[in-house]
Amino acid sequence: MKTGIFTLLLCSSLFVFGQQSVTEPVTLNENNTKEIQFYLKKTANDDQKILYYRIGEKGKEELLFDPNGYKDEKGNEVLIKSFSANKQGSKVCLAVGSKKSEKAKLYIVDVQSKQLHKEQINNCMNHKVTWMDDGRSFVYCQQYVDLSEDGRIMGDLFIHRVGTDSSEDDLVTFTENRPEHY
């Protein structure tokens, strides 16, 4: 029980303290010489907000990820629920899901190539991840619904290394009495 409460508190603190406003730019400084801004923007021609970036305040705006055309497992349109860039500004992790769902799928985008990494992580909480200092791994919370009487949503924290399958992710904390599968 103590582990379950710790996990819930840790996941909640990642959500409360780690959540960025998706309408405000996220600015990263690398060695105090380069500033990269990541931000969501919706134009008159867009159905929803799209992720862009630029180097410096007056740099050229570059499209990084457009969720239009992506669907969840039920066929619903998805949106970018949150995003988090590593401190090097080389990778961005996106939480993408439908408006109706509390769950999201994590996608990783390489900023230089503007390509999605092949791995995707399902069944995650709707908040941004916490990148490690190496810029190649991050902590995320994968959720499931507790089958107890109160039906609480619980989650486990994992560390993911970019380029590996999520089945290889290291479990950081776990919740007691979790279902056999997610």
Q: Which CATH code, of 2.40.50.100, 2.130.10.120, 3.30.360.10, 3.40.50.720, is assigned to 2-173?
A: 2.130.10.120
> Which pLDDT tens digit goes with each residue over 18-28?
333 344 455 55
Q: What is the mean pLDDT of residues 130-152?
A: 79
pLDDT in tens, 2-13: 444 333 334 433
Distance CA 4, CA 22 (A): 29
pLDDT band (50, 70, 90) for residue 151: low
How far is Cα of residue 124 from the mean position of the Cα atoms in its chain?
A: 8
Sign of the C-alpha dihedral computed for residues 125, 131, 136 and 137 taken in this order: negative
Under a CB-based contact definition with an 8 Å cutoff, are residues 165 and 117 in contact?
no
CB 25 within 8 A of CB 11: no
Q: What is the pLDDT of residue 20?
A: 38
Phi first, then psi, for residue 9 (nearest 5°) are: -65, -40
CA distance 140 to 160: 8
Please give the DSSP secondary-structure letter assigned to residue 77: B
Q: pLDDT confidence of 73, banded at 50, 70, 90? A: confident
d(CA 5, CA 92) in angstroms, rounded, equals: 29
**Coil, helix or strand for 11?**
helix
The reported pLDDT for the residue numbered 14 is: 39
Predicted local confidence at residue 2, as pLDDT: 40
**Which spans in the chain are helix H?**
2-18
pTM, two decimal places: 0.75
